[in-house]
Amino acid sequence: MSESLKNKIEATDSSINRLLKEQKFTIDYFQREYRWQEKHIKLLIEDLTSTFLKSYNPEHKPSEVANYQSYYLGPIVFSVNPDTGKKSIIDGQQRITSITLLLIYLNHLQKDFEENNKVAISELIFSVKHREKSFNMSDETRETCLKALFEIGEYAVMENDDETIRNMVERYEDIIQAFPEELTQHALPFFIDWFIENVVVVEIIAYSDENAYTIFETMNDRGLNLTPTEMLKGYVLSKITNKTQRTEINEIWRNEIQKLHDYDENADQGFFQAWFRGRYAITIRPGKVDSMDQDFELVGSRFHNWFKDNHKSLFNLKTSDEFYQFFKYHFPFFVKWYLKIWDAESTFASNMPHTMYIANWGIAESLQNPMLLASINFEDNDDTIIKKVDFVSRFIETFTVRRAINYRKFGQTSIKYTMFNIIKLIRSNDIGALTINLSNEIEKIPENWDGVWEFGLHGQNGKFVKHLLSRITSYLDNLVGKDTTYVTYHHPNGRQFEIEHIWANKFNEHKDEFEQENDFQDWRNSVGALLLLPQGTNQSFSSDKYEDKLEHYLKENTYAQTLHPTYYSKNPNFLNSPIIQRVEFKAHPQFKKEDISDRQNLVQRICENLWSSEYFIERLQD
């Protein structure tokens, strides 16, 4: 290898199409795991779709997409062996993996389109050589999963699958949930064209590993670039003319930002975006082509500039003393509650349980976090704030569950106007007004619980079904006096729970009721024919006949036990509960189609009680 080539570094702007088309690259050993979380993929989808929608007009011709606003995805670093031409990803595999998952989903969305409306994107996912298909992102541990996602849109995670595979499957499900419904029809070919041509990366190629790693380290060093938080701090301190007060606020700022960074290195930016959007933003960009960004968007992109432009009109901060008082008292107060909410999302809190529920099944953080802060007043006591956070969380969960039960999405772009109006509606509410407003908004949710009748498990909604069954199972346990919680079933530290099909996957045993196997599978996957059982227990008798399983169910959670006739004769706590009586359980000595129908209706009644608006009144009286 010549020294000149070894030391050569190339950097070019590249579209997704140019970056991936008929390319092959391996994933460097030191960064093999794919670790993006739900929040990362949802933010990417939110950014991509909202940028596209700024330019999209249904009246446009396909050629006009070339003039749409571009989106910069960041740099990707490759190391190329000049002798073999082998290309290795040094930095950017998280984004390339996520892009590949999105391309696979987009390819499924367009599969039933007319040929002239389809965009050729499969070649960005895999290439064919000697009649053999191989994925452009070469890692043999991913091949089986990618192949299943590409061909059928789902992959059943196996017990020995590693972190990368599990994350890929979960992020694919997140993409399905977050991608806006309004882009799945006429707009889809436009979006795909835009995505592969107008989304830009800087492709950096080094011809030696040494140079590639140097670039990688340089890019991941924060250096001296000021963050929006640091620029906001500079402006705030410049408005406080008293030197002693300025020193005091500087120290407070340092301490509060450190608290945020103890949770996440970017938590400070998330905090200011949530605080300013939840408590002060009053406008949002209209859904019209070429509309200008408003408060909501400007806070998301450059909150330091937005604050500078709006602190007089929206914050009523004009004098040095007003700045001092605000950042001495209000700033630490809202940091404290932002972090308390963060804690409640990760560690179950019995006084605001719904905050954990929406951490696992909620809306986009860009809407959810502002909504949770919106009603909190500086004058509120701790008990009031806890109730407010729980009430708002309860509303969000009710909204998302009812949408999901009816197979409706709730990505940011499809609900942001509704949710932003609710943020403004509940802003600064006292607890009574908040209760009334949230109850009224629940009544306005167009999707109702009748959707349960048609609802069931399919390859792309396992995450939600696990959430739903965890909520139902722990709810019924609590009604009969058991101390289990949502965590017990959804993500315990110990033995894991899995979704159990009450019917074994044996079509031949059900031909007395079904002529077609797909009809049998639809009924088998109905939510009324599903339970949660401990891992291992589920696997050990999942293929048994129902009559044999029934005896095992009697040893499990309350929801499973209610299938067995014996349970109704020995459990006074169950029989005497007013809610249990209202829901009207019944035993199922056998489990036929009619039994699934009964159980499906039971799930609907449970949901109506579990997510009843009476919860607000009951908690107010605590």
Q: For residue 5, which amino acid is it?
A: L
Per residue in 271-282, pLDDT tens? 999 999 999 999
Per residue in 64-118, pLDDT tens? 999 999 999 988 888 887 777 788 888 888 999 999 999 999 999 999 899 888 9
Query: Does pTM top 0.75 for this prediction?
Result: yes
What ranges do the domains of the chain cover? Answer: 3-219, 230-447, 451-620
Per DSSP, the three-state class of 478 is helix
When the pLDDT of each residue in the chain is averaged and rounded to a whole number, the result is 91
Residue 5, pLDDT above cutoff 80: no
If one compares 433 and 573, the residue with the highest pLDDT of the two is: 433
CB-count exposure of residue 62 (10 Å: 0-12, 13-18, 19+): exposed
Residue 337, pLDDT above cutoff 70: yes
Residue 6, pLDDT above cutoff 70: no
Phi, psi of 227 (to 5 degrees): -85, 165
Token representation of residue 374: 């919106």
Per residue in 597-609, pLDDT tens? 999 999 999 999 9
Residues in a beta bridge with 79: 88, 206
Residue 168, pLDDT above cutoff 50: yes
Q: Mean pLDDT across the stretch 364-377?
A: 97
How many Å apart are CA 593 and CA 469, to the nearest integer? Answer: 20
Q: For residue 544, which amino acid is it?
A: D
Q: For residue 318, which amino acid is it?
A: K
Helix axes 462-479, 382-405, angle to 10 degrees: 130
Residues 6+ apart with CB under 8 A from 218: none
Question: Containing H/E element for 573?
Answer: helix 572-576
Per-residue pLDDT band at 133 (split at 50, 70, 90): low
Which pLDDT score is estimated for 542?
Answer: 67
Q: What whole-number percentage of the chain has pLDDT above 70?
A: 94
Range from 253-257, 455-459, 516-520 carrying the lowest mean pLDDT: 455-459
Which pLDDT score is estimated for 183?
Answer: 93
Residue 3, pLDDT above cutoff 80: no
Which pLDDT score is estimated for 222?
Answer: 47
Which pLDDT score is estimated for 616?
Answer: 95
- CA distances for 513 relative to 503, 505, 571, angstroms: 13, 15, 34
Per-residue pLDDT band at 400 (split at 50, 70, 90): very high
Which pLDDT score is estimated for 349?
Answer: 96
Q: For residue 255, which amino acid is it?
A: N
Q: What is the full DSSP assignment across 411-462?
A: -HHHHHHHHHHHHHHHTT--HHHHHHHHHHHHHH-S--GGGGGG-B--TT-H
Which pLDDT score is estimated for 58?
Answer: 93
How many Å apart are CA 84 and CA 558, to the nearest integer? Answer: 62
Per-residue pLDDT band at 404 (split at 50, 70, 90): very high
Residue 4, pLDDT above cutoff 80: no
Which pLDDT score is estimated for 129?
Answer: 61
Q: Are the CB atoms for 108 and 236 separated by under 8 Å?
A: no
Residue 476, pLDDT above cutoff 50: yes
Which pLDDT score is estimated for 33?
Answer: 80
Per-residue pLDDT band at 220 (split at 50, 70, 90): low
If one compares 580 and 327, the residue with the highest pLDDT of the two is: 327
Q: Mean pLDDT across the stretch 12-21?
A: 92
Per residue in 490-509, pLDDT tens? 999 878 999 999 999 999 99
Per residue in 554-578, pLDDT tens? 999 999 999 999 999 878 888 888 9
